[in-house]
Amino acid sequence: MKVAVVGATGLVGTKMLQVLTERNFPVTELIPVASERSVGKEVEFKGKKYKVVSMTDGIAAKPAVAIFSAGGNTSLEWAPKFAEAGIRVIDNSSAWRMDPSKKLVVPEVNAAVLTKDDYIIANPNCSTIQMVVALQPLHLKYRIKRVVVSTYQSVTGTGKKAVDQLFNERKGAEGEMAYKYQIDLNVIPQIDVFLDNGYTKEEMKMVKETNKIMQDDSIRVTATTVRIPVVGGHSESVNVEFANDFDLAELTQLLSESPGIIVQDDPSNHLYPMPLWAHEKDEVFVGRLRRDETQPNTLNMWIVSDNLRKGAATNAVQIAEYMLEKGLL
């Protein structure tokens, strides 16, 4: 099983190598691929050193699967070339997510949509992934009508430059700015660019991707996405209106029995999801479960996950695991 990781030297690419190791994905040969400026550098995988190769050499090596985390423009240019060579591509960028001919997959929710004809598979946005993992079992049981979500997103969602900015600010050091404003001791209510409707691109990703993944355009979603000075772990306050009423204890039990979810909901002992608990974990943590007392059939919940793992690397590897299990690799 030859596996290529495209963007192997980046923040998410490095995490992908870690997740492949931890989950014991059966890699017989790793092909780390990156931009020309990184060719020749070395990455470590399972105690061995591998030299980074170019895109062309990555295709020539004929891996069974290539997991991309190299940005949208790179994916638009190179994913089709890998696919034409018979290589399955799992892409972590936004390039293919809303392409109607490409599947957008969260394994706990909709892995069954994958077929032998899928050569470019899109990994959703990190903030969408953790939300739909928690929403899917509730939708099947109670049918979701509307979701109002506000996110509290880590600087690692932006990348190394943002992490450096935060720590430079904490030290009082000068450095490159990933954001227009200071992020330390601040929150920035803008993730990605603003669109004509006043929402940001990140907010509209959550709207459109949720509908596509859950295969239900009737679910209405509205989002406010916010960057906070946390290094690792996205948090979300989610208000969910259902068509049918629910028993809170039964709903909590349903979530605790659903794949990929850990319920942390014990207010009397101050137990609730936090990035601190989610760090380096693959699960989605759910808590602060309570009725919205202002209208019927409505739930408030708090969802936290490690955005570099389940929000990116782990989800991509889980797609590969599913494809392997179903004989698609």
- 126, 139, 270, 279: which is the annotated catalytic residue? 126
The b/e string for 113-137 (b: 16+ C-beta within 10 A; e otherwise) is ebeeebbbbbbbbbbbbbbbbbbbb
**126 carries an active-site annotation:** yes
Long-range residue pairs from 282-290, CB within 8 A, at least 24 positions apart, any chain: 282/19, 282/306, 282/309, 282/310, 282/314, 283/310, 284/130, 284/133, 284/134, 284/260, 284/310, 285/261, 286/134, 286/255, 286/261, 286/262, 287/263, 289/248, 289/251, 289/252, 289/255, 289/263, 289/265, 290/248
**Any idea of the CA torsion for 169, 170, 173, 176, to the nearest 10 degrees?**
-30
* DSSP secondary structure of 234-267: EEEEEEEEESS---HHHHHHHHHTSTTEEE--BG
Cα–Cα separations (whole angstroms), residue 315 to 9, 128, 260, 327: 19, 12, 11, 18
Helix (H, G, I), strand (E, B) or coil at 284: strand
**139 carries an active-site annotation:** no
Contact 89, 68 (CB under 8 A): yes
* DSSP secondary structure of 2-51: EEEEETTTSHHHHHHHHHHHHTT---SEEEEE--GGGTT-EEEETTEEEE
Q: Compute the distance between CA of residue 21 and CA of residue 7 in angstroms, rounded to an integer.
A: 17
Which residues belong to the active site? 126, 234
